[in-house]
Structure 1
Amino acid sequence: MPARNSNPPVCRNCGGFSSVSITTGARHRDGSRVLLRVVCRACNDTGHPAPTAALSARR
């Protein structure tokens, strides 16, 4: 019996890094950086692609 793959597929749009923080170059009054959090819209911040209807019907 073949072993099941325990690692789910990775989103091809973000490569599994579903959220990143980007610095704007500005600073807050306390000296910390102003960051923008950006999430992958293709996988909805999960890092894994959503199952398609054909794959979910097969299981």
Structure 2
Amino acid sequence: MPVRLSNRPVCHYCDGFPVVAITTGVRHRNGSRVTLTVICPVCQGTGHSHSPAAALALVGK
């Protein structure tokens, strides 16, 4: 099955991994770990960003 790739560039800040879960080292009473979910501040969780060069080229024309 072919893989369809997006034409949008991958976010340079998160490298396409926009949402991550970080463990704090603390455990709940049932033994599971406490995690924090963090979203990339640059792409707002999409994994893609607009390249500045493309935006400048569109503005100039």
The alpha carbon displacement at 1:57 in A equals: 5.9
Q: What is the number of residues matched between the two proteins?
A: 54
Q: What's the RMSD between the two structures over aligned residues?
A: 2.3
Give distance in 1, aligned partners of 2:17 and 2:45. Answer: 8
The alpha carbon displacement at 1:9 in A equals: 0.8
The alpha carbon displacement at 1:56 in A equals: 5.9
- Describe how 1:1-59 pairs up with structure 2 within 5 A: 6-50=6-50, 53-54=55-56
Q: Structure 2 counterpart of 1:28, which letter?
A: H
The residue matched to 2:34 in structure 1 has which SS?
strand
Structure 1 unaligned blocks of 5 or more? none
Q: Structure 2 counterpart of 1:11, which letter?
A: C
Give distance in 2, aligned partners of 1:28 and 1:6. Answer: 39
Structure 2 unaligned blocks of 5 or more? none
Which has the larger helix fraction? 2
- Return the TM-score normalized by structure 1: 0.73
Question: Percent same amino acid among aligned pairs?
Answer: 52
